[in-house]
Amino acid sequence: MKCRHYLRYCDDFVLLSADRDELLAWRGRIEDYLREALAVELNPRERLRPLSDGVDFLGYMVRRDYRLVRRRVVNALKTRLRAYQALLVSEHAGTLTYRFEAGDLERHQAVLSSYLGHLKRANAYKLWQALWRGHGWLAVDFDWDATAWRLKPRWQMPNGLTNVRQQYAWVRGCFPGDALLFHVGAYYELYDRRDAPVARLLGLKPLGKNRRGALYGVPVRLFGRTLARLTGRGRSVVVRQGEQDPTGIRERVIAWRMVPATG
């Protein structure tokens, strides 16, 4: 049809012309071809509109000097966020519990990364910042790299942490204000001298010299009472002990975080 200005992606396309009658003629030819040659119809949402209204194309509203994300895309993202919040965050008896279930979080990260890739190509920085602030639980699961528009998981320990003290220090860096409990055998252990206030709160005495360098320990049988006392006065990150890998180092991953709802 010798249309000089058009956009096409698969079966989505936009034709541009300064002449409305020309656009109507093109549409008629396209409708005839689709019906007779391919036995399909144009999308009923197709319509003519001036460029001043913006071009609705591939999930964006494109205007002369900027590009916005379609409202339908934003609403779909909000729906996904609410669904994952219901899956990963719960509240009971005044305590918020954040589940660090690796499989769910990896799927969540993949979904968010896809949406971020879409938002990044629009004038959507303020939109994402508003979503990030409005869903504070995201900052428990991820760190946000504003330069790269990328989420970095906070629950995945990096490779190369070869002993429990290194693993403990890494978690301490991620959650500096929390009490950390590492499940090792029959105890939940604490490894940092900065844990002394937590130890005093729990009435713990220093441990004797041990090969892991643990400073304090809570018997597993007292775990429930320990959590209740901590959440009444502060925050707790609990790390569970995983399966032993071929190197002989047990993989320790963050199992959940419990936070007083008013904290």
Distance CA 72, CA 135 (A): 19
Residue 251 has what pLDDT? 61
DSSP conformation class of 177: T
H runs (alpha helix) in 89-191: 102-120, 125-134, 138-141, 164-174
Residue 89 has what pLDDT? 95
Distance CA 110, CA 119 (A): 14
Q: Which amino acid is at 111?
A: V
Distance CA 141, CA 152 (A): 9
Instruction: Check if the beta carbon of residue 85 is closer than 8 Å to that of residue 78.
Output: no
Instruction: Work out the burial of residue 232: count CB atoms within 10 Å of its CB; fewer than 13 is exposed, 13-18 middle, 19 or more buried.
Output: exposed
pLDDT tens digit at each of 263 positions of the chain: 889 999 899 888 999 999 999 999 999 999 999 999 999 999 888 888 898 888 888 999 999 899 999 999 999 999 999 999 999 999 988 889 999 988 999 999 999 999 999 999 999 999 999 999 999 999 999 999 999 999 999 888 888 887 888 888 998 888 888 888 888 888 899 999 888 999 999 999 999 998 888 999 999 999 889 988 888 877 777 777 655 454 555 566 788 899 987 64
